[in-house]
Amino acid sequence: MTVNVDVSGTLLQVLRSATDDPDLSYAGPPRPLSGGFWAELLAFSLADPPAGWPGELVARIMPDPDLAQKETIVQVAVASAGFPTPAIRAAGHDSGLGRAFMVMDRAAGAPLLSGLSGSGAIISAISAMRTMPGLLARTMASLHSLDPAPVRDQLGSSCSVPVTVPGMLGVLQKMARDYGRADLVSAAQWLISSPLPPAPDVICHGDLHPFNILVDGADVCLLDWTTALLAPRAHDVAFTSLLLAEPPLRVRRALRPVVRRLGARLARRFVARYEQEAGVTLEPRDVRWHQGVGCLRALVEVAGWDHQGLTEARAGHPWLICGPAFARRLTALTGSRVRSDMGG
């Protein structure tokens, strides 16, 4: 696959302006990267990069400038604090690209999981049983140990999208209403009307799962901060444990019970290791509540695709694979009969 020439040329003009170097040029044509559903990813290198810039870079081109601003603020802050995520070299939203963008270092390493179809999914899950829970737990505990104050200050003064769980729930309920999904409106209302006791906020990634982690020997790198929030630590733990327990893997029907059993074991081990790494004890009730928030977020997003006629274009997305399991969990938690189908 090749990159659209207009995008490639416009990106170079944006970089020339950002670096104040009219002679900046590519060392080779930009190449598309797979793995992103929301943002367009381009890998490239510069013939003579600015001082301090690495040879290999990635441009992330994003359709929503407000979400992009939040993502940029959080990623810059955690990278500045020494957390393992790519450093951002340039970013903006008022550019010739017509979309928000960031240019960051290209992370080394390979995805945490491979072989994610058929019997390969089971083999990968078995192989991951030893190392994955601890790696995810250490990464998350390290993130939660960072001071959230710099992120809170910047988000509070300049961000126009929700940055807390209550704010997100309000937006999700409105979106569900706009999409004509009374079942999801009812589930959102239950969560809004049944809040948990207050707990300190930490920087939550919001989407910390094996597909967003690259591993390079003993080093890890966490990618994609679009869903980051300032929230209780149970929010992050809940989402990661949910994705482990309900793995978005396409396998034959006969293999699904085996995969789910392995996923449930991974989820339990992850939560136990996180509590050990972070030196905390989480209430199971809090984890279940925040898992409900995660299910609601995914199902509202899918409802939006259906409303806009985009479901076919999202084929293979984890939310479409996990939708029935998420609907069952949200129904059990809230008592609202949540549909997992896409229509009517």
CB under 8 Å to 162, separation ≥6 — which residues?
A: 168, 170, 171, 229
**Same domain, residue pair 99 and 143:** no
Residue 62 lies in a domain: yes
Q: What is the CATH number of the domain that holds 12?
A: 3.30.200.20
Residue where one domain finishes, among candidates 52, 80, 105? 105
**Same domain, residue pair 182 and 275:** yes
Mean pLDDT, rounded, of the chain:
90
| pLDDT, position 116 | 47
Residue 207 lies in a domain: yes
The predicted-structure confidence for 264-318, as pLDDT tens digits, reads as follows 999 999 999 999 999 999 999 999 999 999 999 999 999 999 999 988 888 888 8
Q: How far is CA 190 from CA 97, 186, 194, 303, in A?
A: 41, 6, 6, 19
**Same domain, residue pair 222 and 296:** yes
Find the range with the poorest average confidence among 176-180, 188-192, 227-231, 337-341.
Answer: 337-341
Residue where one domain finishes, among candidates 42, 76, 105? 105
Q: Cα(133)–Cα(260) distance, rounded to whole angstroms?
A: 16
Higher pLDDT, 27 or 4: 27
Examine the pLDDT at 343 and tell me if it is beyond 60.
no
Q: How many CA atoms lie within 13 A of 315 on its CB side?
A: 2
**Same domain, residue pair 185 and 298:** yes
Q: What is the CATH number of the domain that holds 319?
A: 3.90.1200.10
Find the range with the poorest average confidence among 51-65, 125-139, 236-250.
Answer: 125-139
**Checking phi first, is residue 217 left (phi over 0); if not, alpha (psi -120 to 50) or beta?**
left
Q: Cα(90)–Cα(68) distance, rounded to whole angstroms?
A: 13
Number of domains in the chain: 2
**Same domain, residue pair 264 and 175:** yes
CB atoms within 10 A of CB 93: 17
Residue where one domain finishes, among candidates 59, 87, 105? 105
Quote the domain boundaries for residue 36. Answer: 5-105
Q: Cα(262)–Cα(83) distance, rounded to whole angstroms?
A: 30
